[in-house]
Amino acid sequence: MSYTGVQVLDHPLIRHKLTLLRNRNTTHKDFRQLAEELAGLMTYEVCRNMRTRSCPVETPLEHYDGQELENEVTIVPILRAGLVMAQGMLDMIPHARVGHIGLFRDETTLQPVEYYCKLPDSVHDSDVFIVDPMLATGGSASKAISLVKERRPRNISFCCIIAAPEGIEVLQRDHPDVKIVTLEIDRQLNENGYILPGLGDAGDRIYGTK
């Protein structure tokens, strides 16, 4: 399945790790590590169009006309599950700032409930990556993007591991200007708002809470 405006990162190593991640027999420890590694791999591609500027340096031997990233980078995990993705990205962009948005889905209405929001002042001048492994109904991602947009960042990408068609449609309706990057697009949601085939509840699998 392909969606205009959604970037799906297909790579043999990503397919391999994503299959391990989905496996119900994968332990919490391995799940955490795999999710972090997948986010690290994703970082390479989501940074492809970042602007760079001249950064001349002296090597031990001679002058070199180098380059450095031009803009601030802010990574915003949606708590809880986004935290491991943020760590995977930070391993690749250690100078990035980190904002946190706390949201959980009300189990009955499936609507996002906000409980925390702390964003760096510099967000208005940043390339922002909002990260959450799961884009299901799209409610959490849409709410998080609205909170970040209040700070007027340069641009926002929403990065997830698995996206459902329903969530993509909601994000493209609410935030057509935001780029969606995912590793796979799954078939559909079930009656409880879980992604099929999916990987279950990402937060519970990461933290072993169920």
Residues with active-site annotation:
105, 109, 201, 204
Contact 148, 174 (CB under 8 A): no
Considering only 19-27, 105-113, 122-130, 145-153, which stretch makes contact with ligand PRP by CB under 6 A?
105-113
List the x/- string, 48-87, binding to ligand PRP by CB under 6 A.
Answer: ------------------------------x-xx------
200 binds ligand PRP (CB under 6 A): no
- Give dist(CA 174, CA 149) in Å, integer: 12
Give the chain's end-to-end CA distance (angstroms, integer).
Answer: 32
178 binds, among ligand PRP, ligand URA, none (CB under 5 to 8 A by kind): none
Which letter does DSSP use for residue 152 in this model?
-
Least distance to ligand URA, CB of residue 87, Å: 18
201 near ligand URA (CB under 6 A): yes
Interface residue with ligand URA among 159, 163, 180, 202 (CB under 6 A) is 202
# residues contacting ligand URA (CB under 6 A): 9
Sequence length of the chain is: 210
Using CB under 6 A as the binding rule, whether residue 75 contacts ligand URA is answered as no
Binding track over 110-139 against ligand URA, x by CB under 6 A: ------------------------x-x---
136 binds ligand PRP (CB under 6 A): yes
CA distances from 80 to 4, 102, 135 (A): 29, 7, 14
Nearer to ligand URA by Cβ, of 174 and 201: the residue is 201
Contact 121, 99 (CB under 8 A): no
The C-alpha atoms of residue 38 and residue 132 are separated, in whole angstroms, by: 12
Maximum CA extent, the chain = 65
Rounded Cα gap, residues 141 and 179, in angstroms: 12
Please report which helix (H) or strand (E) contains residue 20, including its range.
helix 12-22
Point out which residues pair with 76 in neighbouring strands: 130
Asked if 84 touches ligand URA (CB under 6 A), the answer is no
Residues that bind ligand URA (CB under 6 A): 134, 136, 193-195, 198, 201-203
Binding site for ligand PRP (CB under 6 A): 78, 80-81, 103-105, 110, 112, 132-141, 167, 193, 201-203
